[in-house]
Amino acid sequence: MKLPAFTYHRPDSLQEALAVLAEHEEAKVVAGGQSLLPMMALRLARPEHLVDISRLPELSSIRECDGGIAIGAAVTHATAERSPLVTTGSPMLAAALPLIGHQAIRNRGTVCGSLAHADAAAELPAVALALDATLVATSPRGERTLTPAEFFEGYLSTALEPDELLTEVRLPAWPASATTAVHELSRRHGDFALVGIAAMVTTAEDGTVASAALSFFGAASVPCRVAEAEASLVGRQPNEETIAEAAAIVSARLAPPDDIHASRAYRQHAAGVLTRRALAEATTNGKMAAA
């Protein structure tokens, strides 16, 4: 289907992009276009102005930032996937990126676009939540930073104002003892996940769990963590028993959607299974039974 008519803007600088956004109330940012253009084709979005930020030099870098990394709004999934800074500086992001759609989608889709789009089944909002990322929103009024809990307000809904751009996402320094695994269940390779988990575990010198982050996608209208399951692991050795306990808490506490793709009960069960697999991989390189 053809796109509805719109005026296309390709600003040469961030300042110009912000000015166009502020000038036109009905304007929308387009980065990779991998979510917005299909929505326009389906008439689920009808912006009168599109502001293309994909070639803005100010937004095109991945850089070190306070021991962690900062990823600009024009950085594609594919660029991040190939970046040594991401591989070493944020192994959870590196594990999540290849799960997004197909290579052709990752060649154009952007990391910040995934966050700004805020699809509840998308991998990167859950990664941002697990890592306590900082989201940087910029408008002609200046810059403000938001936590993931502040940023993700609901299904496809964020705290960004119409004239604000998500200019970068900052991921904090990766803890020395941290290990990670990202697992998801989807019908076919490349489909959005029915449910998924981004897990990170840090360990103390005696091998007990010092901290755990269990962040889920496809399990609510926003990415969500299960604090009770995380707490159940802390101070204990990660083994079959403690991992099964955490997985059971996850299945009991999550209240995922019931829709044409999967029932709530199926997603609850799958979330528990994925928790077991992810924790087994993160804590024992998958050597433990992970059926």
Ligand X SMILES: Cc1cc2nc3c(=O)[nH]c(=O)nc-3n(C[C@H](O)[C@H](O)[C@H](O)COP(=O)(O)OP(=O)(O)OC[C@H]3O[C@@H](n4cnc5c(N)ncnc54)[C@H](O)[C@@H]3O)c2cc1C
Q: Which residue ranges make up the site for ligand X (CB under 6 A)? A: 28-36, 38, 73, 100-101, 105, 109-110, 112-114, 116-117, 119, 122-124, 160, 165-166, 192
CB of 211 to ligand X, least distance (A): 26
The burial of 75, by beta-carbon neighbours within 10 Å (0-12 exposed, 13-18 middle, 19 or more buried), is given as buried
CB of 102 to ligand X, least distance (A): 7
CB of 171 to ligand X, least distance (A): 16
Nearer to ligand X, 98 or 245 (CB): 98
- CA dihedral (53, 55, 56, 59) positive or negative: positive
Nearer to ligand X, 135 or 213 (CB): 135
What is the Cα–Cα distance from 291 to 282, expressed in whole angstroms? 15
What is the Cα–Cα distance from 203 to 175, expressed in whole angstroms? 10
Nearer to ligand X, 93 or 233 (CB): 93
CB of 130 to ligand X, least distance (A): 15
The separation between CA 159 and the C-alpha centre of its own chain, rounded to angstroms, equals 15
What's the length of the chain? Answer: 291
Nearer to ligand X, 134 or 203 (CB): 134
Residue 260, token pair as written in the block: 């044409």
Phi, psi of 171 (to 5 degrees): -105, 130
Nearer to ligand X, 223 or 238 (CB): 223
Alpha carbon dihedral 76, 78, 83, 85, in 10-degree steps, equals 50
CB of 42 to ligand X, least distance (A): 11
Tell me which residue has its CB nearest to ligand X.
109
Nearer to ligand X, 36 or 247 (CB): 36
Non-local CB neighbours of 95 within 8 Å, separated by 6+ positions: 180, 181, 182, 198
User: What are the residues facing 184 on neighbouring strands?
Assistant: 196
Q: In angstroms, how far is the first alpha carbon of the chain from the final one?
A: 43
CB of 250 to ligand X, least distance (A): 21
